[in-house]
Amino acid sequence: MSPQALVHNEQHIRITGQLVEQLEGADTGEGHAVRVTIIQGGRSRNGYVYDQVSLQRIAHLIEGAQAYADHARSSEDQVNRSVRDVIGFYHDASYHPDGPDGGRVDATLHIFAAADWLWSIIKEACTLGRPELIGLSIDIFGQWQLNEASKAKEIISIQQVNSCDIVTRPSAGGTFRRILHEDRTALEEYEEGEAYLMTETLKSEEAVEAQPEVGAGRLQEQQQQIEQQRQEVERLLSEVTMQKATLSLERRLQESILPEAVKAQVRQRLQGRAFDEHELEAELTSAQALLAQLTRDGLIRGNGHEKATVSQMITEAEKVQAAFDAMFDLDVDRSRLGNIHGFGSIHEAYTRVTGDASLRAGISSSSHLGAIRVAESAPIGRISEADTTTASFSYLLGTSMNKRLLKDYQAWPAEWQKFVTIVPIRDFKQQTRVRLGAFGSLPIVAEDTPYSAITLTDSAATYVPQKRGNLVTISRETILNDDLQAIRQIPAKLAVSAAYTLAEFVYAFLSSNPLIYDAANLFTTGAPHNNMGAAALSSAAMQNGITAMREQANYAGKRLGLRPRYLVVPPELEWTSMVVTRSAGVPGSPNNDINPMLGYVTPIIAPQLSSATQWFLVGDPREVDTIEIGFVGGQVNPTLFIQDQPILGLNFTQDAITYKIRHEYGGAVVDYRGLYRGV
């Protein structure tokens, strides 16, 4: 069967952009030649649509084109490709109209002998049944128009084919199943054997006709020799068939999601004998059906019969995202991704993703307007069919900015979390926290006397969560000016703003002395709360505050014996708080009296407190309610959003990508008895 016939027979596999067959002479040691499918018609994963005309144009331009290992990082790099990256060239290109979506373009790829490392990868990937690890991706300059209805970028003209490169994840292709080839040595031996047998037969017949006196004995001897040779050829062919069956079995078992124990049974049934592909598929299908039935019957649970995921596959988009992360000094999993280098400039990052070195198309990777652009006004740009452009520049940048925002936000001191209660809330409706009253001492119930009925009074603390946020824009000029330092500062500044705003909100409950659920100020001298003193911070003043908290009573007038856990002070009182809480002796005492406040409470320094003299004692929220902070949807961290639609907002009016930070929360004092103010 010819190579062309093999391609035609496997057409339904749709192995676009993948190696599809090995040609004769591929292992000569003087380079390797493989037949490949350059591109398949229809819509690629990057959204470009190739019709019959564009495919024919590619088939014409690909003749003699160079092949490189991986795409160029930018348009400038594409022009100045290194000779070390060249791995071969294309010839004998042809357009095949058969098949769906406009057909395909095939060519022969000659791989240089110096690129044996690549050939080794191709052969090993195919031997292991993982040929999808390597594919082809075309890099061209052309014009396209946006179809607003389908959101497809229709190729309308192609000016130049830059290269067709070897990549890990092509976007204009399908699934690569296997290299279609036969054992040429065995076939040649078989063909030579057949030719030899035919020649010897003819010679024998001619000899008998020319010399009938030779007799039947000699003719019989020659026929026996021919029969032995025929048997040897059949034996060789049988061995080749057995080898192909074994390789096919191992490849399909590696692709299968069956558990190892079931794979072993299938291997045992088929190993050691020749079988065709239909029999192998029938065995695998039968095993899968049996497992499915056993699972439905409840006889198999949790034995690992789940579809495997290729967790070790690393896409080009992952590498580009890692380069963005490294640009923002974020941690990158180099053990998995390798030695990833961060982008050195924002312009380099933009060009790497979009291929637009001059920002001719604006700053969004999809910044095109109108239902369909006419050919005369369609932009000419780089069209790369690797999967690095599946995520837009704005999304990749925003993802890394959001990671940096969260890292900086979580690194910001938030010691207020020690003395508040954090809860998730569902919506922006008013939140109500009912505070039930308390029972007094249980009365004695005399014999034959009914129990007395009492009721509980209650009150409610309420608050309404609010939305806080800001907009940040990155302009086209910022990218053109390559102002990386300015962009790198945005997440840090947003994180500080969000963290400081939330801290101000919490500490304002202490410093502003608001009205709370009982219509009285949080801190009062005497009734109703009796939780405010008039002395500056000192050991004696703290002892008075502790006594006041111990004397706090419930609704029934019973003392609760509460104890403070934290001393909250402004920066002006930081050193005073350290002396008061960590000195072994009473500060200023002439007799070296033991300091009873040593280690009694933990100081918390709050820069958000506006008064230089106020200090506060706060109880442990696990023992007594203090302040509740509720986050909408349980989203404690702020969130960064991206607005880069080309016909909306600043992207349309001012050539700017807009990032929005949002933080949604609210809070209230739930119980005054866990709080005490010194001045």
Q: pLDDT digits over 210-259, tens only?
A: 555 555 666 777 777 788 877 877 777 777 777 777 777 777 777 666 77
Q: Using 50, 70 and 90 to split pLDDT, how confident is the model at 356?
A: low
**Angstrom distance (rounded) from CA 672 to CA 617:** 11
- Residues 524-552, mean pLDDT to the nearest whole number: 94
What is the pLDDT, as a whole number, of residue 123?
A: 76
Beta strand 627-632 pairing with 656-669:
antiparallel
391 pLDDT higher than 50: no
Output the six-digit token pair for 480.
Answer: 């053109």
Q: Are 423 and 480 in contact (CB under 8 A)?
A: no
Percent of the chain scoring above 70 in pLDDT: 71
Query: Which residues, 6+ apart, have CB-to-CB distance to 629 below 8 Å?
Result: 420, 421, 422, 423, 505, 506, 665, 666, 667
The amino acid that residue 432 corresponds to is: T
11 pLDDT higher than 50: no
pTM of full prediction above 0.85: no
- Residues 396-413, mean pLDDT to the nearest whole number: 82
What is the pLDDT, as a whole number, of residue 310?
A: 38
What is the pLDDT, as a whole number, of residue 464?
A: 94
What is the pLDDT, as a whole number, of residue 490?
A: 83
Give 436 or 223, the one with higher predicted confidence.
223
3-state SS string for 365-402: CCCCCCCCCCHHHCCEEEEECEHHHCCCHHHHHHHHHH
What is the pLDDT, as a whole number, of residue 190?
A: 47
Question: Facing residues of 617 across strands?
Answer: 567, 676
Give 144 or 294, the one with higher predicted confidence.
144
Give 616 or 15, the one with higher predicted confidence.
616
- Residues 595-615, mean pLDDT to the nearest whole number: 93
Q: pLDDT digits over 99-145, tens only?
A: 666 788 888 888 888 888 888 887 777 777 776 777 888 888 777 78
Give 273 or 535, the one with higher predicted confidence.
535
Backbone angles phi, psi at 25, to 5 degrees: 85, 15
What is the pLDDT, as a whole number, of residue 176?
A: 41
Q: Are 84 and 74 in contact (CB under 8 A)?
A: no
Identify the CA nearest to 518 among candidates 671, 308, 631, 344.
671
What is the pLDDT, as a whole number, of residue 113?
A: 84
- Residues 67-72, mean pLDDT to the nearest whole number: 79
Poorest-pLDDT segment among 31-35, 57-61, 670-674: 31-35
**Angstrom distance (rounded) from CA 599 to CA 565:** 10
307 pLDDT higher than 60: no
What is the pLDDT, as a whole number, of residue 343?
A: 83
The structural domains of the chain, with segments of one domain joined by +, span: 3-167, 184-296, 316-375+388-403, 404-428+462-679
379 pLDDT higher than 50: no
Which DSSP letter does residue 133 get? Answer: G
- Residues 74-82, mean pLDDT to the nearest whole number: 61
- Widest Cα–Cα separation across the chain: 144
With H, G, I as helix, E, B as strand and everything else as coil, classify residue 8: helix
- Residues 1-8, mean pLDDT to the nearest whole number: 37
Q: Using 50, 70 and 90 to split pLDDT, how confident is the model at 69?
A: confident
The amino acid that residue 104 corresponds to is: R
Poorest-pLDDT segment among 552-556, 558-562, 601-605: 552-556
Poorest-pLDDT segment among 63-67, 72-76, 218-222, 545-549: 72-76
What is the pLDDT, as a whole number, of residue 412?
A: 81
Q: pLDDT digits over 170-187, tens only?
A: 766 534 434 434 334 444
Q: pLDDT digits over 482-537, tens only?
A: 667 777 788 888 888 999 999 999 999 999 999 999 899 999 999 999 999 999 99
Poorest-pLDDT segment among 115-129, 207-221, 323-337, 375-389: 375-389
- Residues 280-304, mean pLDDT to the nearest whole number: 65
Give 638 or 206, the one with higher predicted confidence.
638
Handedness of CA 84, 87, 90, 95 (dihedral sign): negative
Q: Using 50, 70 and 90 to split pLDDT, how confident is the model at 646?
A: very low
380 pLDDT higher than 60: no
Give 436 or 258, the one with higher predicted confidence.
258
> Average per-residue pLDDT in the chain?
75
Q: Which helix (H) or strand (E) element contains residue 651?
A: helix 649-653
What is the pLDDT, as a whole number, of residue 184?
A: 42
What is the pLDDT, as a whole number, of residue 572?
A: 96
What is the pLDDT, as a whole number, of residue 640?
A: 82
What is the pLDDT, as a whole number, of residue 538?
A: 92
Output the six-digit token pair for 589.
Answer: 């005492």
Output the six-digit token pair for 573.
Answer: 């009182």
DSSP string for residues in 448-500 = T-PPPP----EEEEEE--EEEEEEEEEEHHHHHTT-HHHHHHHHHHHHHHHHH
Question: In Å, how far are 74, 75, 385 from 365, measured between CA atoms?
Answer: 14, 15, 14
What is the pLDDT, as a whole number, of residue 493?
A: 85
What phi-psi label fits residue 554: left (phi over 0), alpha (psi between -120 and 50 degrees) or beta? beta
- Residues 622-628, mean pLDDT to the nearest whole number: 92
- Residues 571-594, mean pLDDT to the nearest whole number: 86
* Domain covering 404-428+462-679 assigned CATH 3.40.50 in the classification: no
